[in-house]
Amino acid sequence: MSKRFDFLVVGSGIAGLSYALKVADHGSVCIISKTSLDETNTRYAQGGIAAVTYQPDTIEKHLADTLSAGDGLCKPEIVEIVVKEGPGQITELVNWGTLFDKQPNGLFDLAKEGGHSEHRVLHHKDNTGYEIQMSLSKKVREHKNITILEKYFGIDLITQHQLGEDIQGKQDDIECYGIYALNIRNNQIETILAKTTFIATGGAGNIYQTTTNPPIATGDGLAMVYRAKGEIENMEFIQFHPTALYNPKERPSFLITEALRGFGAILKTSQGKEFMHKYDKRESLAPRDIVARAIDHEMKARGDDFVYLDATHLEEKNLKEHFPNIAKKCIELGIDISKDRIPVVPAAHYICGGIKVDTEGHSSIAHLYSAGESASTGLHGANRLASNSLLEAVVFSDRAAKDAIKSISSLEFMEGIPDWDDEGTSHPEEMILITQNLKELQQIMSNYVGIVRSNLRLKRAMDRLEIIYRETEDLYKKSTVSLQLCELRNAINVAYLIIKMASKRKESRGLHYTIDYPWKHIE
Ligand code: FAD
Ligand code: SIN
């Protein structure tokens, strides 16, 4: 028995939930989420959401900052769309109940982050993502047209390929009819049919050893679309956040928001010396690619495991009022942020590329949309400007929703879709086969495809990946489907795309830095 919905939403972060709320008055909606509705990357966003609100900020300045961070690879027409439509989407978030901090005069309290020429980041203390997630979750739970399926893991999109049809060479004709999903509570695979499907599965930080992303971020949506022969692009641009808290025992790494640097905190070496002036005139507030590379360089030159972020010169009450979450976390580790320097390291944080979509969030597969971190709209180019991703997610979810609503009345469900076929499979005997391959994958990516790359490292990464790819595909063919095995398979697919696209880029640009080609910034 299959389930049927007009609109299927895979993922429950800011992209999935804001899209669901917009389409819900036009048909039945199903949101599937692989753990709980609220466990997303969105929930952990700290700094906030960038948007032009007041003078002296202007649309032109936000546009210029985004283009400059993107190092010549942003699509200017997309940057214009996001920056111009952003303020309207902020109003929508406020109307859905999101509270952004205000000054005593009633105006938004705007923060500054790396690469921004103005204070323009709306925030809720230092846990903006939690505030957004909770307000949107409350709204979707209240909507009578929305069915929420938690602990449902999307395995593969249903397209002609999945049904065994060979439509090689006719990419425009691929259609999506819904998804096969694993109900984690009873281990049954269900067919969910939909007239339109929206992929909002977020990022893939867990393919690296050190990441700020929660465990759900394994690139599932990207891998599903890749296997369905949809277009994926710009995967070589992996953003490492410069300042994750150095605490080797902890995974994911706790983020120390860039807004703390915007507030005046300064990066220093283990000897307490400032170093960012050697790399960029914006010093600690240069764009992320520059700061992460500078930290990496300083750590390697000194043989240090971390650098320091120093906020001890800032006024204590003000500091702790603005960053209560960070102050609390640090004090648990014996670090008082007003008295002690905070040890920080770069960590994998965000994937700039993804499922290639057009201006309406539509992918290369018919009836399949994507927005949020899983999508590649062309906004970020070679490096994302801080706090532009939550903004991109709401703007493109809105556009995709409008487009999907327009076509919904003319679409039908696909009939005759077979149930998932797992004949001839059995439970894998040893979990170690999966966990060990994931660890190896994370080592390969961190050691060879990290902040600094080279042709040799990329080649080595691909050779090693090939081995675990074969082993995992072999296991997948023989095994009943499990969450862990599917996630590993997806992570390997995503790693493959990153290495392949990184190997093709014969230059150093933005986040793709290789010692084989000199780095030259393009405005
Ligand atoms: P997510 O919020 O990651 O949601 C993904 C959803 O997809 C989840 O519900 C997950 O369960 C579901 N899912 C995934 N795979 C499957 C599957 N196979 N089946 C079913 N469900 C699935 N950006 C900013 O702009 N400003 C910030 O201040 C900021 N701070 C950040 C701080 C941290 C610590 C992190 C990790 C990121 C931060 N980012 C920030 C980036 C930003 O949070 C994310 O890019 C954004 O939240 C992504 O939203 P999303 O809706 O695309 O995906
Ligand atoms: C941060 O708060 O530093 C994260 C902002 C972002 O990833 O955009």
* CA-214 nearest atom, ligand 1: 36
CB of 393 closer than 6 angstroms to any ligand 1 atom: yes
Tell me how far the alpha carbon of residue 260 lies from the centroid of ligand 1, in angstroms: 21
What's the pTM?
0.97
Instruction: Note the pLDDT tens digit of each residue in 214-246.
Output: 999 999 999 999 999 999 999 999 999 999 999
Q: Which of 288, 341, 384, 399 is catalytic?
A: 288
Name the token pair of 391. 């903004």
CB of 350 closer than 6 angstroms to any ligand 1 atom: yes
The fold of 21-236+352-408 is: FAD/NAD(P)-binding domain (3.50.50)
Report which protein residue has its CA nearest ligand 2's atom 2: 47
Tell me how far the alpha carbon of residue 116 lies from the centroid of ligand 1, in angstroms: 22
For the cut 80, the answer to whether the pLDDT of residue 372 exceeds it is yes
CB of 386 closer than 6 angstroms to any ligand 2 atom: yes
Domain 238-349 in this protein, CATH class: alpha beta
Angle of helix 14-23 versus helix 389-408 axis, rounded to 10: 30
CB of 16 closer than 6 angstroms to any ligand 1 atom: yes
Q: What is the mean pLDDT of residues 171-197?
A: 94
Task: Tell me which residue of 387, 484, 505 sits closest to 155, measured CA to CA.
Answer: 484
CB of 489 closer than 6 angstroms to any ligand 1 atom: no
Task: Tell me which residue of 403, 294, 321 sits closest to 357, measured CA to CA.
Answer: 403
Tell me how far the alpha carbon of residue 445 lies from the centroid of ligand 2, in angstroms: 22
* CA-114 nearest atom, ligand 2: 3
Tell me how far the alpha carbon of residue 437 lies from the centroid of ligand 2, in angstroms: 30
Q: How confident is the model at residue 423 (pLDDT cuts 50, 70, 90)?
A: confident
CB of 46 closer than 6 angstroms to any ligand 1 atom: yes
Q: Which amino acid is at 219?
A: G
Mutate to test the pocket of ligand 2, among 116, 257, 384 (most ligand atoms within 8 A of CB): 257
Report the SS3 class of residue 428: coil
Give the per-residue pLDDT at 8.
99
Largest interatomic CA distance in the chain: 68
Q: Which helix (H) or strand (E) holds 268?
A: strand 266-268
CB of 376 closer than 6 angstroms to any ligand 1 atom: no
Q: How confident is the model at residue 203 (pLDDT cuts 50, 70, 90)?
A: very high
Q: What is the mean pLDDT of residues 295-319?
A: 97
CB of 63 closer than 6 angstroms to any ligand 1 atom: no
Kindly tell me the burial class for residue 455, based on how many C-beta atoms sit within 10 Å of its own C-beta (0-12, 13-18, 19 or more).
Answer: middle
Task: Tell me which residue of 411, 502, 401, 400 sits closest to 452, measured CA to CA.
Answer: 502
Q: How confident is the model at residue 362 (pLDDT cuts 50, 70, 90)?
A: very high
CB of 372 closer than 6 angstroms to any ligand 1 atom: yes
Give the per-residue pLDDT at 425.
84
* CA-390 nearest atom, ligand 1: 25
Ligand nearest to the CA of 114: 2
For the cut 80, the answer to whether the pLDDT of residue 465 exceeds it is yes
State which CATH number among 3.10.450.100, 1.10.287.130, 1.20.58.100, 3.30.870.10 fits the domain covering 432-480+482-514: 1.20.58.100
* CA-128 nearest atom, ligand 2: 2
Q: How confident is the model at residue 519 (pLDDT cuts 50, 70, 90)?
A: confident
Report which protein residue has its CA nearest ligand 1's atom 6: 11
Pair type for strands 3-10 and 29-33: parallel
Ligand nearest to the CA of 43: 1
For the cut 70, the answer to whether the pLDDT of residue 202 exceeds it is yes
Q: By the 8 A CB rule, do 238 and 27 touch?
A: no
Q: By the 8 A CB rule, do 38 and 134 touch?
A: yes
CB of 15 closer than 6 angstroms to any ligand 1 atom: yes
Ligand nearest to the CA of 483: 1
Q: What is the mean pLDDT of residues 262-280?
A: 96
Report which protein residue has its CA nearest ligand 1's atom 30: 45
Ligand nearest to the CA of 149: 1
Give the per-residue pLDDT at 128.
98
Write down the mean pLDDT value for the chain. Answer: 96
For the cut 90, the answer to whether the pLDDT of residue 473 exceeds it is yes
Report which protein residue has its CA nearest ligand 1's atom 53: 202
For the cut 70, the answer to whether the pLDDT of residue 420 exceeds it is yes
Those residues whose C-beta lies under 8 Å from the C-beta of residue 356, and which sit 6 or more positions away, are: 230, 231, 232, 233, 363, 364, 376
Q: How confident is the model at residue 421 (pLDDT cuts 50, 70, 90)?
A: confident
For the cut 90, the answer to whether the pLDDT of residue 164 exceeds it is no
Give the per-residue pLDDT at 424.
80
Give the per-residue pLDDT at 167.
60
Q: What is the mean pLDDT of residues 500-514?
A: 97
Tell me how far the alpha carbon of residue 389 lies from the centroid of ligand 1, in angstroms: 9
In the chain, CATH 3.50.50.60 covers 21-236+352-408
Q: What Å distances lie between residue 466 and 174, 437, 496, 499, CA to CA? A: 28, 12, 9, 11
Give the per-residue pLDDT at 233.
98
Using CA atoms, how far apart are residues 451 and 297, in angstroms rounded to an integer? 10
For the cut 60, the answer to whether the pLDDT of residue 19 exceeds it is yes
> 101-108, long-range: CB within 8 Å, 24+ apart, which pairs?
101/125, 107/53, 107/54, 108/53, 108/54
Give the per-residue pLDDT at 170.
57
Q: How confident is the model at residue 422 (pLDDT cuts 50, 70, 90)?
A: confident
Give the per-residue pLDDT at 431.
85
Q: What Å distances lie between residue 245 and 44, 82, 274, 307, 337, CA to CA? A: 14, 31, 18, 10, 12
In 303-415, alpha helices (H):
316-322, 324-332, 389-408
Give the per-residue pLDDT at 521.
62
In the chain, CATH 1.20.58.100 covers 432-480+482-514
Tell me how far the alpha carbon of residue 33 lies from the centroid of ligand 2, in angstroms: 23
Q: What is the mean pLDDT of residues 36-56?
A: 97
Instruction: Give catalytic status of residue 288 as yes or no.
Output: yes
More confident residue, 522 or 51: 51
For the cut 90, the answer to whether the pLDDT of residue 1 exceeds it is no
Q: By the 8 A CB rule, do 486 and 420 touch?
A: no
